């Protein structure tokens, strides 16, 4: 059903600071960056870029405003791990399978995620306290 862990998402108060920190201290580099108004986030995908380490990706998520999911998360829990994302080949098929197994998804239909991907989520209350994203990459 799932191909691999696509990324983990970290809620951060300031995107530029977070990118600089992970670059300077740990040598991660920026792979992609965008603003997703619908999700209320300024985000960056960072990675090692090392051969064979395509799966090593971290999504840094900063709130665009106070109503943002990320702002609420930081207010309540502080900055830190916010989500775990599973990559799938066909999100419509996987959604159907998950629903048939009684797993509730947040959105009736997938929404647009980073870099034109299609995303949906399993609520943390239904997934052992972890916000689980399922993501079908654009290509
Ligand atoms: N990880 C673990 N637990 C979380 C959580 C998270 N990321 N977010 C909320 N919770 C917990 C809260 O602590 C709270 O627990 P308690 O009841 O024990 O206090 C409970 O879940 C609250 O859930 P809620 O009342 O449904 O409402 P929230 O406002 O906290 O929203 C959720 C939770 C999952 C519906 C919301 O975060 C959401 O819609 N997430 C999906 C969208 C998203 O995360 N977008 C940003 C990333 C975009 C991208 O990846 O591209």
Per-residue pLDDT tens digits for 118-136? 999 999 999 999 999 999 9
d(C-alpha 91, C-alpha 45), whole Å:
20
**In this predicted structure, what is the pLDDT of residue 51?**
64
Per-residue pLDDT tens digits for 80-91? 999 999 999 999
Per-residue pLDDT tens digits for 40-60? 999 999 998 666 666 689 999
From the CA of 122, how far away is ligand 1's center (Å)? 10
Domain count, the chain: 1
pTM summary value: 0.95
| Mutation to probe ligand 1, out of 38, 131, 136, 137 (largest number of atoms < 8 A from CB) | 131
Structural domain including 96 reads: 4-136
CATH number of the domain within which 69 lies: 3.10.180.10
Q: Where does ligand 1 bind, in terms of residues with CB under 6 Å?
A: 9, 36, 39, 41, 61, 69-70, 72-73, 76, 82-83, 106, 113-114, 119, 121, 123-125, 129, 131, 133
**In this predicted structure, what is the pLDDT of residue 48?**
83
């Amino acid at each position: 059903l799932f191909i691999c862990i696509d990324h983990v998402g970290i809620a951060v108060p300031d995107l530029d600071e977070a990118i600089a920190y992970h670059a300077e201290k740990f040598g991660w580099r920026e792979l992609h960056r965008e603003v997703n108004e619908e999700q209320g986030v300024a985000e960056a995908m960072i990675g090692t870029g090392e051969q064979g380490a395509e799966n090593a990706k971290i999504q840094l998520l900063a709130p665009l405003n106070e109503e943002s999911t990320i702002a609420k998360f930081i207010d309540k829990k502080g900055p830190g791990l916010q989500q775990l994302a599973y990559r799938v080949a066909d999100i419509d098929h996987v959604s159907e399978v998950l629903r048939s197994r009684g797993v509730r998804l947040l959105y009736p239909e997938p929404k647009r995620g980073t870099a034109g991907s299609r995303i949906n989520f399993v609520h943390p209350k239904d997934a052992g306290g972890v916000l689980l994203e399922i993501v079908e990459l654009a290509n």
